[in-house]
Amino acid sequence: MIEINGLYKTYNYKKSGAFEALHDISVTIEDGTMNAIIGRSGSGKSTLLHILGCIDSFEKGSYKFNGKEIAEYSEKERALFRSENVGIVLQDFSLIETYSVLENVLTPFYFTNKTYSKKEMKSKALAVLKSVRLDKLENKSVNKLSGGQKQRVAIARAIVNNPSVILADEPTGALDSKTAAEIMELFRELNEKGHTVIIVTHDLEIAKQCDRIIEISDGRIKKE
Amino acid sequence: MKYFRFAFMSIYDNIKVNILMIVEILVILLGVNIIVGGYNNRNMLYKPYYDLLNNYTGWYVAFDTDENTGELLTNEMKGDLEEIRMYEFSGNIEFAGQQADIKINICPDEIMDNLKMSVYSGKWETSLSDKTVCIAAPNTFGLKAGDKIISPLFLNEITVSAVLTDPCYLPSFSSWSTMSGIENFYKKYSTLYYSKEIENSQHLEIIMSSSEFSETGADISNAQSCFIIYGNHLTEENIEYNEKILRDNYNSGISFSDIKKRAEMSINNILKKYIPIAVCAFIVILIGIISCTAINTLRQTKNYGTLFICGMRWSDCIKICAAYTTIIMLCSVSLTIAAVSVCKIFNISAYFGLAFQWNNVIVSIIILTVILLLNLIIPAFIIRNKTPVEIIKENN
């Protein structure tokens, strides 16, 4: 369970040009739910997702993940958190273009504390690729894939370590509507398998496919 | 090891710039090793005479200095005098079932003990307790390391411990006949040696220490050049008086201080001449390497952002950079070792007067350390000025 209480985030904190991106955010996200965070550009929705994924930090407030305070985590613990507890999917896919599909999916294994043999790693990666319907493409270079296929690789990479939470920042932003629908279907399937899904989007149609919509405006939660 | 995996990703991603970097480091390493190799070779030739020329005053006579003439002269000269003389033996010998004419250059022990030349085969052994040994010059007669030289004039056989590389320098001092005149005779530091190439080997030539040769019981054929060492407490007037006698009798003489000056000039010239060029080239190439590293790091920041969301610590980017630089340097070092090996195998180093020794390794390590540090500072600076959030935002 994710519990956020009185969270503040200011860019250029205590410097000139400081900008408050999040103001007194308090929200609880139950396990196994599918959530959408919506808002206009610059509203702070991506910042909130980055904080949830331990990509970014915050100055004030509390962020508890399964009861543990994330603010107290060291850099090493935060890195491990990104590797094992959350899977992150971004709009530009964030794949390593020179790697094959399989190599990209294997990447999170190199940063986890869990020990796997090469064979185990490969079989897990192949199983995940099958679940996102990318089997038989494992040896293909990612720069030869379509946008939809790339996003599937990104999703496969996000779930390969079996994290409880999947965070997606505009996952359908770079895709056509048909492919976007397929990706959303994939998120729905992952949610049904027990993953908590949090999707940041500005597209209300995408948000409507989630169980819960959190609207952010000017760094504040406007509506739930 | 995972950092090496990601470092290979960096190299593959920007292959042309990385090949350029490997070539740049290779050029630096080869250039510096050639300079150091040249310096080593000249130093190697000076070393046997170092103690003699630095600790004593005296006169060097590079001519047939038979002992009778020498004795007459030393009787005329003032003060206590000591002579270190080079001898020669010529005769017919037998080895491996064949006969050949041989010239043995018999070197004073004081010089032979400090002599060390590049060997083509065998091991540099100039004195052994259980057998009489010699070092052979490169030859077309088939005399090789391990062969035994016998002669009715010798009480025992002489074992060839090593054969020198071709071409080589023999401490013969007998290059009088090869030089055009007295003016040129001492101009080159190499005249303390006799340069020998396999193409010009009309007879077998070996070098032995005086003590080793004495074990054969053979008589020497003639005396060659001689170092006349003045005893302590000799006044300037007496030195001048002695040198006048030597000049009058041997017009091919030179003082120790002059040989030393010329030898050191010869050694230092290589440094004076090439170090400024090498430093300039090093700076230019270093700028090239820094630019390549900066380009590479900037290109890789997106991938570092990707690794960050997969669970890498941002500070670990520098470990990937270190692994990346190590791979690049290993490629350059491997190519340098290959080039040096080719030089040694095909005797190119001997033709160009290069001797590769431990200081080559030390200088190379220093250069590689400088490159490694620079290659870490630049990416560290670039990475420190960017946060993963900025990189992720830039790409979304």
The predicted-structure confidence for B228-276, as pLDDT tens digits, reads as follows 888 777 888 888 888 888 777 766 677 888 888 877 887 888 888 888 9
Q: Do B142 and B98 form a contact (C-beta atoms < 8 A)? A: yes
Is A97 within 8 Å of chain B by CB? yes
Sign of the CA dihedral with A30 first, then A32, A33, and A35 last = positive
Nearest CA in chain B to A167: B309
- Asked whether the beta carbons of A166 and A190 are under 8 A apart, the reply is yes
Residue B359 in this model has a pLDDT that exceeds 60:
yes
Q: Which residues of A touch B388 (CB under 8 A)?
A: 55
C-alpha distance from B369 to closest chain A C-alpha (Å): 29
- From the CA atom positions of chain B, what is the Rg in Å? 29
Task: Enter the tokens of residue B103.
Answer: 């010239």
Q: Looking at the complex, does the CB of residue A80 fall below 8 Å from at least one CB of chain B?
A: yes
Is A157 touching B (CB cutoff 8 A)?
yes
Does residue A206 surpass a pLDDT of 70? Answer: yes
Question: How many residues are listed for chain B in this entry?
Answer: 396
Give A96's contacts in chain B (Cβ within 8 Å).
9, 303, 306
Closest CA–CA distance from residue B331 to any residue of chain A (Å): 21
Percent of chain A whose pLDDT exceeds 90 = 74
* Distances from the Cα of A164 to the Cα of A82, A86, A100, A121, A155, angstroms: 11, 6, 26, 19, 13
Q: How far out from the chain centre does Cα B285 lie?
A: 26
What's the pLDDT at B180?
Answer: 36
- The arithmetic mean of pLDDT across residues B132-159, rounded, is 90
**Lowest mean per-residue pLDDT among A89-98, B9-18, B257-266:** B257-266
Q: Secondary structure of B247-279 in the HEC alphabet?
A: HHHCCCEEEHHHHHHHHHHHHHHHHHHHHHHHH
Average pLDDT, rounded, for chain A:
91
Report strand pairing: B158-164 vs A19-29. Answer: unpaired
Q: How far is B379 from chain A (nearest CA, A)?
A: 19
Q: What is the interface size between A and B, counted as CB pairs within 8 Å?
A: 66
Which residues from chain A sit within 8 angstroms of residue B389, using beta carbons? Answer: 50, 55-56
From B389's Cα to the closest Cα of chain A, the distance in A is 6
Q: What is the distance, to the nearest Å, from the Cα of residue B187 to the centroid of all Cα atoms in its chain?
A: 21
- Dihedral angle of Cα B193, B197, B202, B206, to the nearest 10 degrees: 50
* Chain A interface, best mutation among B306, B312, B390, by max A CB count within 10 A: B306
Number of continuous H segments (helices) and E segments (strands) in chain B: 12, 12
Name every chain B residue with its beta carbon within 8 A of the beta carbon of A76: 313
**Contacting residues for A16 by C-beta, under 8 A, at least 6 apart:** none
Say what the ipTM of the complex is: 0.94
In chain A, what residues touch B392 (CB-CB under 8 Å)? 50, 55, 90, 94
**Dihedral pair phi/psi, residue A172, rounded to 5°:** -110, 5
Residue B66 CB neighbour total at 10 angstroms: 13
Q: Which residues contact A130 (CB under 8 A, 6 or more apart)?
A: none
Contact B13 A97 (CB under 8 A): yes
Cα A198 to chain centroid, rounded: 7
> 3-state DSSP call for residue B299?
helix
Residue B135, SS3? strand
d(CA B4, CA B367): 22
| HSE-CB of A22 using CA atoms within 13 angstroms | 28
Q: Can you give the pLDDT at residue A207?
A: 92
By Cβ distance, the residue of B2, B303, B315 closest to A96 is: B303
The structure tokens listed for B273 are 């001449």
Q: Are the beta carbons of B115 and B126 closer than 8 angstroms?
A: yes
Q: Does A203 touch chain B (CB under 8 A)?
A: no
- Min distance A92 CA to chain B CA atoms (Å): 6
Contact B160, B145 (CB under 8 A): yes
Q: Looking at this protein, which amino acid is placed at residue A197?
A: V
Q: Check CB contact under 8 Å for A76 and B313.
A: yes
A50 lies within 8 A of chain B by CB: yes
Which pLDDT band, with edges at 50, 70 and 90, does B390 fall under?
A: confident
Give the whole-angstrom CA distance, residue B115 versus residue B171: 9
| A119-138 mean pLDDT | 92
User: CA B257 to CA B259: how far, in whole Å?
Assistant: 6
Residue with tokens 């077309």: B140
Q: How far apart are CA B291 and CA B288, in angstroms?
A: 5
pLDDT above 60 for A24: yes
Indicate the pLDDT class of residue A126, thresholds 50, 70 and 90: very high
Flag if B306 and A97 touch (Cβ within 8 Å).
no
Cβ contact (<8 Å) for B305 and A94? yes
| pLDDT single digits (tens) B37-85 | 988 888 888 888 888 888 888 888 766 556 666 666 677 788 788 888 8
DSSP-assigned states of every residue in A42-105: TSSHHHHHHHHTTSS--SEEEEEETTEEGGG--HHHHHHHHHHTEEEE-TT----TTSBHHHHH
**Whole-angstrom distance, CA of residue B355 vs CA of residue B37:** 5
pLDDT at B174: 43
Tokens of B304: 């570092």
For every residue of B23-50, DSSP letters joined together read HHHHHHHHHHHHHHHHHHHHHHHHHHHH
CA distance B170 to B193: 5
- Give the 3-state secondary structure of residue B122: strand
Phi, psi dihedral angles at B205 (to 5 degrees): -135, 130
- When mean pLDDT is compared across A122-131, A135-144, B107-116, the lowest value belongs to B107-116
Q: How far apart are CA B390 and CA B396, in angstroms?
A: 10
Sign of CA pseudo-dihedral A54, A58, A60, A61:
negative
Smallest Cα distance from B290 to chain A, Å: 24
Write out residues 175-194 of A within 8 Å (CB-CB) of B.
Answer: none
> Are B396 and A169 a contacting pair at CB < 8 A?
yes
